């Protein structure tokens, strides 16, 4: 800064000029970020997940189980906090798991069924949780990695499989 123009201008004029340039350029950058990135803020996404069945005779299709996940796709944005209420609604004494492969792990709280009330167990930072008939679990994690990731029941493959789609 030489002693020329900058010194001659009054403080008020300099401040107003700086403010106008800053606010205008900030608005241009802000609008561009919003327009180009199509960004949405991380949020808590809550899902209800159940075991389901497809009506076919398991013995007739290469021994494949007729079990499925309902829903079989969960779509979130990267950074979202995901809460899944997973319920084993089997009418027979059959267990199911909620399992995810790395990099994803989750925290799970398993609640009892008609014969076993209350919290059955808490499992921090695991990749697999087992639910007996009638039990339910609250599964939580942050969708930190973008991409498509499998969630599945380890007992009923390959049919009981769903996909977590994380939009980055």
Binding site for other proteins (CB under 8 A): 1, 6-8, 10-12, 14-15, 18-19, 21-27, 29-31, 33-35, 37, 39-42, 77-79, 142, 144
Comparison of 41 and 92: residue with beta carbon closer to other proteins: 41
Comparison of 29 and 119: residue with beta carbon closer to other proteins: 29
Q: Which residues of 20-41 are buried (b: 16+ CB within 10 A; e: fewer)?
A: eeeeeeeeeeeeeeeeeeeeee
Taking the complex as a whole, how short is the minimal distance between the CB of residue 132 and other proteins, in angstroms?
A: 34
Comparison of 17 and 154: residue with beta carbon closer to other proteins: 17
Comparison of 36 and 114: residue with beta carbon closer to other proteins: 36
Comparison of 30 and 121: residue with beta carbon closer to other proteins: 30
- Which residue from 52, 49, 21, 86 is spatially nearest to 156, judged by alpha carbons? 52
In the beta sheet, which residues pair with residue 142? Answer: 81
Both structure tokens of 48: 């209800």
- Which residue from 15, 37, 47, 11 is spatially nearest to 162, judged by alpha carbons? 47
Taking the complex as a whole, how short is the minimal distance between the CB of residue 156 and other proteins, in angstroms?
A: 32
Taking the complex as a whole, how short is the minimal distance between the CB of residue 161 and other proteins, in angstroms?
A: 26
Taking the complex as a whole, how short is the minimal distance between the CB of residue 31 and other proteins, in angstroms?
A: 5
Pairing of strands 73-77, 81-87: unpaired
Taking the complex as a whole, how short is the minimal distance between the CB of residue 168 and other proteins, in angstroms?
A: 9
Pairing of strands 81-87, 136-142: antiparallel
SS3 helix, strand, coil % of the chain, rounded to 5? 20, 40, 40
Is-contact 94 57, C-beta < 8 A?
no
């Amino acid at each position: 800064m030489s002693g020329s123009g900058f010194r001659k201008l009054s403080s008020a004029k300099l401040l107003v000029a700086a403010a106008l340039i800053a606010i205008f350029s900030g608005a241009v950058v802000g609008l561009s970020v919003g327009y180009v990135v199509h960004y949405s803020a991380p949020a808590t996404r809550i899902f209800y997940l159940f075991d389901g069945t497809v009506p076919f005779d398991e013995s007739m299709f290469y021994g494949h189980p007729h079990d499925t996940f309902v829903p079989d796709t969960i779509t979130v944005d990267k950074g979202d906090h995901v809460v899944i209420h997973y319920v084993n609604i089997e009418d027979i004494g059959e267990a199911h798991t909620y399992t995810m492969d790395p990099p994803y792990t989750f925290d799970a709280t398993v609640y009892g069924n008609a014969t076993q009330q209350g919290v059955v167990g808490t499992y921090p930072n695991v990749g697999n949780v087992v639910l007996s008939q009638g039990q339910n679990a609250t599964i939580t994690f942050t969708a930190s990695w973008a991409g498509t990731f499998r969630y599945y029941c380890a007992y009923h493959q390959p049919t009981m499989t769903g996909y977590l789609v994380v939009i980055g």
